[in-house]
């Protein structure tokens, strides 16, 4: 695929009170069919006018994203739903009132004017209202819904800093609004309202437990692409979020997991071969004797911190030039499910499951 070169302009914007001038400029770029990367609370998005099929095609070209992978449409507020959806189930408005602005994407029947490029030919459209002042100001100024996937080339790690976007997409997009690091760090939860109860197509920033509490019933969970050949949601391919290094994900009781990672790091370390470990902060003492690059991403008791630093941790290990990344799991409670999902994809299914092994300290 050949990609047209563009001059990429970067603007610093205050994440809480964005200066109107760069927002206005970025909005005119969107209205003219251009591409603007902007911060949301989850990760940076790469936006185009969702109602302009040519502009949307530009997103796929810049990202080298296959056309079968649909985009999420971002709205400034819930009233925007009328423009992109039809025959709304009452539950959609209840979920929107409770979770928006926020990292919950709803899959709903699409309105005819949404181009098929946005939805990959599907009769449904994925929509959300992001909880970020820069994103909301931009969508409002553009006066149109904004289709925006994560602002990275297809299959690579999602960007949580403007620098990640620049490294991956400079020369391919028109504007980057730099609003600093993103708060949530993993993408939105994608929830389909076409089933009853609704189905989580992709775990993300809103936990399964929070949805269950609101719905009064546990949402269904689409079989993870790691254990099924059928993709639950288009685009949830097994190899995704992939650093250059080969990633292996360790799951199991903490001491078993850490012992296995330690042994493997020792085995792999050789002259000229650097090993990276993606861990919790409290794991560092148990691994400190290794001559490996240790990248703690937060405490296992604060999964919001782990989610926030997860992609930056993978980026940092790539930057350090490690050949292999051994990553630990953080369970499936709360944000743990989304963290496991992203790490499983980064590992392209190379998961070492130690769940059945006994904890040596028990
Ligand atoms: P990204 O914004 O790059 O994280 O990708 C958006 C993801 O949202 C896609 O990869 C799909 O998994 C999901 N998605 C978007 N639109 C739909 C839809 N109409 N039906 C089901 N899933 C969707
Ligand atoms: Mg993505």
Question: Which runs of E-coded beta strand occur in 99-239?
Answer: 104-109, 124-128, 146-147, 175-178, 189-192, 199-202, 220-221
Q: Which ligand is nearest to the CA of 190?
A: 1
**DSSP alpha helices (H): ranges in the chain?**
20-31, 53-63, 81-84, 90-99, 116-119, 133-142, 162-169, 208-215, 254-268, 284-287, 303-319, 336-346
- Give the pLDDT of the chain (362 residues) as one tens digit per residue: 567 789 999 999 999 999 999 999 999 999 999 999 999 999 999 999 999 999 999 999 999 999 999 999 999 999 999 999 998 999 999 999 999 999 999 999 999 999 999 999 999 999 999 999 999 999 999 999 999 999 999 999 999 999 999 999 999 999 999 999 999 999 999 999 999 999 999 999 999 999 999 999 999 999 753 333 334 565 566 667 777 899 999 999 999 999 999 999 999 999 999 999 999 999 999 999 999 999 999 999 999 999 999 999 999 999 999 999 999 999 999 999 999 999 999 999 899 999 877 665 55
Q: Ligand 1: which of 59, 65, 126, 341 to mutate, most ligand atoms within 8 Å of CB?
A: 126
How much distance in Å is there from the Cα of 233 to the middle of ligand 1?
7
Tell me how long the chain is. Answer: 362
Kindly report, residue by residue over 308-330, the tens digit of the pLDDT: 999 999 999 999 999 999 999 99
How much distance in Å is there from the Cα of 317 to the middle of ligand 1?
27
How much distance in Å is there from the Cα of 276 to the middle of ligand 1?
30
Domain extent listing, the chain:
9-185, 246-353
Q: Which ligand is nearest to the CA of 46?
A: 1
CA angle 309, 333, 205 (to 5 degrees): 50
Q: Return the CATH number of the domain spanning residue range 246-353.
A: 3.40.50.11030
One of 3.40.50.10490, 3.30.70.260, 3.20.20.70, 3.90.870.10 is the CATH number of 9-185, namely 3.90.870.10
How much distance in Å is there from the Cα of 259 to the middle of ligand 2?
33
Q: Ligand 1: which of 233, 242, 345 to mutate, most ligand atoms within 8 Å of CB?
A: 233
Beta-carbon contacts of 164 under 8 Å, excluding residues fewer than 6 positions away, are 44, 152, 157, 311, 312, 315
């Amino acid at each position: 695929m050949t990609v047209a070169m563009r001059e990429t302009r970067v603007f610093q914007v205050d994440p809480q009170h964005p200066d109107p001038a760069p927002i206005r400029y970025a909005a005119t770029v969107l209205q003219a069919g251009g591409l603007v990367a902007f911060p949301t609370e989850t990760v940076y998005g790469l936006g185009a006018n969702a109602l302009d099929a040519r502009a949307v095609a530009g997103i796929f070209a810049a990202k080298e994203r296959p056309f079968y992978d649909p985009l999420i449409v971002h709205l400034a507020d819930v009233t925007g739903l009328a423009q992109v959806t039809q025959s709304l189930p009452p539950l959609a408005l209840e979920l929107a009132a409770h979770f928006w602005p926020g990292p919950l994407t709803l899959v709903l029947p699409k309105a005819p004017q949404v181009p098929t490029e946005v939805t990959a030919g599907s009769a449904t459209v994925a929509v959300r209202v992001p909880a970020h002042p820069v994103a909301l100001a931009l969508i409002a100024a553009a006066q149109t819904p904004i289709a925006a996937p994560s602002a990275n080339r297809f299959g690579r790690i999602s960007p949580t800093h403007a620098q990640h976007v620049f490294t991956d997409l400079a020369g391919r997009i028109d504007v980057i609004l730099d609003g600093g690091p993103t708060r949530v760090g993993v993408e939105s939860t994608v929830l389909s309202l076409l089933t009853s109860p609704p189905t989580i197509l992709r775990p993300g920033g809103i936990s399964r437990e929070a949805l269950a509490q609101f719905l009064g019933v546990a949402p269904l969970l689409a079989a993870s692409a790691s254990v099924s050949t059928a993709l639950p949601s288009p685009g949830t391919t097994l190899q995704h979020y992939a650093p250059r290094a080969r990633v292996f994900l360790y799951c199991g009781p903490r001491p078993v997991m850490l012992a296995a990672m330690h042994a493997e790091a020792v085995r792999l370390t050789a002259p000229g071969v650097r090993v990276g470990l993606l861990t919790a902060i409290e794991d560092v003492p148990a691994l400190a004797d290794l001559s490996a690059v240790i990248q703690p991403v937060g405490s296992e008791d604060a999964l919001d911190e782990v989610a926030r630093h997860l992609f930056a941790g993978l980026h940092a290990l790539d930057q350090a030039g490690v050949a292999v990344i051994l990553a630990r799991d953080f369970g499936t409670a709360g944000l743990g499910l989304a963290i496991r999902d992203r790490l499983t994809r980064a590992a392209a299914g190379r998961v070492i499951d130690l769940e059945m092994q006994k904890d040596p300290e028990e």
